[in-house]
Structure 1
Amino acid sequence: MPKVLRNRLFQDYKSFVRAYIDDIIIFSKTPEKYLRYIAIVLEILDKVYIYISVLKSFAGYPIVRLLSYIVNGKRVVKTNNRITIFKKIKFLATLDILE
């Protein structure tokens, strides 16, 4: 799903849904809200003829680590894994060493 389309589809629902490339993350504080949010997202996708694969879908996880984020029932938190990894990279002082 193109980024522009993802942003347009879910711009009014940022409080409970995030979309990344081909992943859609729905989160809530209660099971009741979670079911309601799933219905909203499915309705939005249905209106634009986008369908999800049941075989590739997962629901009800209390916490999920996705890309550089941790998603739980309360919030989406960015982790610093990427920053830590880049800080550990040793760069060459000069390109002469490559020859």
Structure 2
Amino acid sequence: IFIDDIIIFSDTIDKYTKHLETIFSFFKKKNISITLAKSYIVYPSVELLNFYVNRFRLTNIEHYIAAFRNLAFPNNLKAVEQYISVLEFLCHLILYYT
């Protein structure tokens, strides 16, 4: 089994500790290993899928949005499909998007 990213969020450090214990216990039972060098525990925010995630919100990484702003307007069907896919991915960050 390969698991790429696991994000554990909790309101308090006590809950966070319990969540970690649950996950580690499950992994041990299922013989799933974790690479400590790639583990980040008790971080206030993380970068995930071109976004910053923290306990308050999900925010975009500006260079990703800037690249989208600089895209040429699509002039063929394939380009329109790609443009719409990017819009669907970013729609929660676009004010008044419907």
- The TM-score normalised by the length of structure 1 is 0.55
1:55 aligns with 2:37: yes
User: Which structure ranks higher in relative contact order (CA pairs < 8 Å, sequence separation ≥ 6)?
Assistant: 1
CA contact (8 A) 1:27 1:34 kept: yes
- Once the two structures are TM-superposed, the CA of residue 38 in structure 1 deviates from its matched residue by 0.7
Task: In structure 1, give the amino acid aligned to 2:67.
Answer: I
Task: In structure 2, give the amino acid aligned to 1:79.
Answer: N
1:30 aligns with 2:12: yes
- Once the two structures are TM-superposed, the CA of residue 22 in structure 1 deviates from its matched residue by 0.9
CA contact (8 A) 1:29 1:74 kept: no
1:5-49 superposed Cα distances (whole Å, 9 cap, x missing partner): xxxxxxxxxxxxxxxx51111111211111111111112222221
Map 1:1-16; keep pairs closer than 5 Å. 1=1
Give me the identity figure in percent.
36
- Once the two structures are TM-superposed, the CA of residue 87 in structure 1 deviates from its matched residue by 4.4
- The TM-score normalised by the length of structure 2 is 0.55
Equivalent pairs counted in the alignment come to 75
Distance 1:92 1:33 in 2: 48
Task: In structure 1, give the amino acid aligned to 2:48.
Answer: L
CA contact (8 A) 2:46 2:53 kept: yes
Task: In structure 2, give the amino acid aligned to 1:36.
Answer: K
- Consecutive unaligned residues of structure 1, counting only runs of 5 or more, are 3-20, 95-99
1:73 aligns with 2:59: no
Which has the larger share of strand?
1
